[in-house]
Amino acid sequence: MNKHHYVAIMAGGIGSRFWPQSRTAYPKQFLDILNTGKSLIRWTYERYTSFIPNENIYIVTSDEYVEIVKEQLPELPVENILAEPSRKNTAPCIAYISYKLLQKDPEASLIVAPSDHMILDAENFRLVTAKALDFVHNIKSLVTLGIKPNHPNTGYGYIQHEALQVADGIYKVKTFTEKPNLELAKTFIASGDFLWNAGIFVWQVKNVMKAFEIHQSEMFELFEAEKEHFNTPEEKEAINRIYPLCTNVSIDFAIMEKANNVYVIPSSFGWSDLGTWNSAYDNLEKDYLGNAVASENVIVIDATKCMVSAPKNKLVVLQGMDDFILVDTDDVLLICKKEKEQAIKEYVAEVKRNKGDQYL
């Protein structure tokens, strides 16, 4: 293992599209969504322990989730759990960990990854990541991992790359595109030069901070002004001063879409965003009628292609439904057509308007 290799696992989101199982107080990254016996953050952490030193693994999360992280990852040094005082999207989060590492290890190379994705082929993922780490060590670059698409998914962002390789399996990025409509997604797939944006990045921290200095100068100056406090007992107070002044912006929009040294590695390692109940359905075993059941106490009768999640202590009998999402918790029951899953965020907003925060 290389002592200059680090990973930052981002775990501050609230996972509202997995409501009602995912709640503000205990969101999806800490849940066993696929009924595997491990939470999503646990799977992510273990994926990296095979090739990143444990002391070089960091979790960036919200203040309110620090204790949950300690509970679920007891092997992780407590000082490696970075608490954000507010949710400001991924750019401030990445600036925080990058600036902290820059003060500690100027030669640090960093992998940035979400805590709630699934990767089935861990060995291929390790090889792709090793290729990215080698590339950024030798070339002043920002690398993202792109997933070779197998269908026109409208729930993912897309990355278009140049036709010619700059190194073995590595291409310069041409464009980033937000979630397209179905017709545009079909066009992307047909072109052959578009990939799904996995949201996994690799770079040397000195190079990403240079990109912040150029493209996000105000945010860069906020961190620069407090740099002597990083990795000291004053770090928390410094972050509490910085975050209220930071723009709420994603790393894609803040840096990746603007920088001219961005590269992508087309990859296939059994990746899934696990952002919605339909993505959970896609990754679960099905019965002979196409039902995916993430529970041990469900009886299905004459139902087809349903996604079912329920507490272990509650018997659920499902009859006569076709193509539905059914999620039962102790205090909420959601029954929703699978085709309407993108509207779950709207349903959560409706619950908030009518019932307050009690069920969120």
Domains defined for the chain, CATH in brackets: 5-272 (3.90.550.10), 277-355 (no CATH)
d(CA 292, CA 283) in angstroms, rounded, equals 9
Strand stretches in the chain, DSSP E: 5-11, 57-62, 81-84, 109-114, 118-119, 142-147, 158-167, 170-177, 194-204, 262-267, 271-272, 292-294, 298-301, 307-309, 316-319, 324-328, 333-337
As given in the structure block, the two tokens for residue 179 are 């979630």
The C-alpha atoms of residue 56 and residue 110 are separated, in whole angstroms, by 9
Largest CA distance in the chain: 65
DSSP secondary structure letter of residue 284: S
In whole angstroms, how large is the CA radius of gyration of the chain? 21
Coil, strand or helix at 163: strand
- What region, left, alpha or beta, does residue 237 occupy, with left being phi > 0 and alpha being psi -120 to 50 degrees? alpha
Per-residue pLDDT of the chain (360 residues; tens, 9 = 90+): 899 999 999 999 888 889 999 999 999 999 999 888 899 999 999 999 999 999 999 999 999 999 999 999 999 999 999 999 999 999 999 999 999 999 999 999 999 999 999 999 999 999 999 999 999 999 999 999 999 988 888 788 899 999 898 899 999 999 898 888 888 888 888 888 889 999 999 999 999 999 999 999 999 999 999 989 999 999 999 999 999 999 999 999 999 999 999 999 999 998 988 888 998 999 899 999 999 999 889 999 999 999 999 998 899 999 999 999 999 999 999 999 999 988 898 999 999 999 999 999
Supply the pLDDT for residue 101: 96
CB-based contact 16:344 (threshold 8 Å) = yes
- Which amino acid is residue 89, in one-letter code? N
Q: Which residues lie closer than 8 Å to 322 by C-beta, 6 or more apart? A: 303, 304, 305, 306
Buried-exposed string 115-129: b where 16+ CB fall within 10 A, e elsewhere:
bbbbbeebeebbebb
Length of the chain: 360
For 192, other C-beta atoms within 10 Å of its C-beta total 9
pLDDT of 189 reads 84
**Residue 350 near residue 337 (C-beta atoms within 8 A):** no
| pLDDT for res 274 | 85
Cα–Cα nearest to 18, from 269, 294, 296, 253? 294
Three-state DSSP class for residue 271: strand
Straight-line distance from the first to the last Cα atom of the chain, in angstroms, rounded to the nearest whole number:
42
- Whether residue 59 contacts residue 97, with contact meaning beta carbons closer than 8 Å, is answered with no
CA–CA distance, 48 with 56 (Å, rounded to integer): 10
SS3 311: coil
